[in-house]
Structure 1
Amino acid sequence: MEIFEELLEHDLNPFILFDSDGKIKKFNKEAEFLMNFVTSKELFSLALEHASKNFGFNKEFTRLQFDKQSYYAILVGYISDNEIALRLFKEVGMIEPVKIDNNFTETNIFTLLEIARNTTLVDSKLKITDIYDVSIPEFKMNINDFLLIINSIFEAAQIYKTLTLKVFIKIGEYEIINNNKYKIVSLEFNTEGTIKIDKSLNYGKKNLINIIKSAHGIKVELPLIV
């Protein structure tokens, strides 16, 4: 493998080469990871949407979000009708050390969910179906930030008739914090449509709480710190 191919393979930004039918010919490690959250068909459609009208390359600065993967620009290029290349540019930021011992308290996530429901949904007609992995142990989190987010989600979900709440540990995904690897606890709130909460609540990410919007609800993810 040539040096430029090695660089592309280990690049922080996902790269995919499609043929004219949308089948993948080449991709790097970042693209492989990205395809855990979005299909190759969707990425091919994205490439066609942003391709230049004539042979050549087109770069646009635009915000793209696939699950918790964020990108700030897209590059699409083709020099024949046989193949088209797509490259996305990942948003990155400085990772600051987290003082887990000072800001986090060990707690039971299911107890907190029950507190939030009893606080927010007292007179609500929202029907909730719980799918819990009860083997999840007590773990450390910023309780105040967590409850603010969960309360807001329950309040916003009341415009719908039903809500499915799934709590589980993700398989094969980890969060790296202070050079330590932690499993990820995911809470999926699935409804008939989107759940919109106050944008200011995204500040919770500084306390390792990720909020991920979807077409049929919203997800909250946090590390399993025991």
Structure 2
Amino acid sequence: MTFEQQWIEYDYNPFVLFNSNGKIISLNSEAQFLLGAITAEELFNFATTYANVSFGFKTTFVELDFGRYKFFAITVGYENDEEIGIKLYQIPSFKLNKPKLEGELTNIYTLVDLCISTYSINSDIIFLKDFDPTIPEIIIDSNNFIKILNKIYSCYENNEKILTKIFYRVGEHIKFEDKKYSIFSVEVSSKNINEDKINELKVLAANTSFYMDFQKKVIINIPMITS
């Protein structure tokens, strides 16, 4: 790999090169992670939509949101009809700015099971679980987490089943007090979602330190701070 290629490979911003049929020819590391949140076909459509009318390069300032990936601009370039490239410029990753870490060392599985048990008392909903069992005990504000998760479940109360997943976010990090920590997520999903309660959830979440994604799935992203 040449020095120039290494610059592209380790760029913080995703870069993808397509052929004329939308097949990926090459991509950098950051783009590989992005493809977990958006399909190659969708990226190719963005490239062709924002491309210059003639050969060359065009940068467009546009807000794009794919899960926790947020972008403020894209550059699309092509010099022939065979290849087209797209680079997406990320909004800087979120950073926890609180001077002191709030919370206590807690088992995340215990908190989630507590919320499920509590919510199941007066409900016929079937709660499905898909947990990565390797998450260690982490420092977290348990009270606020329980409030948030219970509110999330209320957003899906008009369903027969609700799926809760706990998983690592590979390659993603959060900075806290100038240290970088891995992230794991608690994701809740089902078929139907109550939009009014989602709006209430957003208000509640705004008063906490949790970084959340609101889509058809609701995701709480949590730093792996263990001490």
Q: Match for 2:23: what amino acid?
A: K
Alignment correspondent of 2:32: 32
8 Å Cα contact 1:195-1:218 kept in structure 2: no
Matched, 1:111 2:116: no
Q: Match for 1:82: what amino acid?
A: E
Distance 1:73 1:185 in 2: 27
Alignment correspondent of 1:130: 129
Distance 1:18 1:129 in 2: 39
**Between the two proteins, what is the percent identity of the paired residues?**
31
- Classify the secondary structure of the residue corresponding to 1:219: strand
TM-score (norm 1): 0.78
Distance 1:134 1:8, change over 3 A: closer
CA shift for structure 1 position 92? 1.2
- Greater Cα offset, 144-153 or 4-13: 4-13
- The C-alpha deviation readout for 1:87-135, integer Å capped at 9, x for no partner, is 111011674554454x122223233334434555543332211233455
Counterparts of residues 60-71 of structure 1 (less than 5 Å): 60-71=60-71
Distance 1:5 1:119 in 2: 53
Distance 2:56 2:193 in 1: 38
Matched, 1:203 2:206: yes
Alignment correspondent of 1:213: 214
CA shift for structure 1 position 220? 1.8
Q: Match for 1:203: what amino acid?
A: A
Alignment correspondent of 1:41: 41
Q: Provide the aligned length of Structure 1 versus Structure 2.
A: 222
- Greater Cα offset, 187-196 or 159-168: 187-196
- Classify the secondary structure of the residue corresponding to 1:225: coil
Distance 1:94 1:109 in 2: 22
- The C-alpha deviation readout for 1:36-79, integer Å capped at 9, x for no partner, is 43332331122123334444444333222223111112222323
Distance 1:64 1:195, change over 3 A: farther
Q: CA RMSD in A?
A: 3.1
Distance 1:83 1:115 in 2: 53
Counterparts of residues 46-85 of structure 1 (less than 5 Å): 46-85=46-85
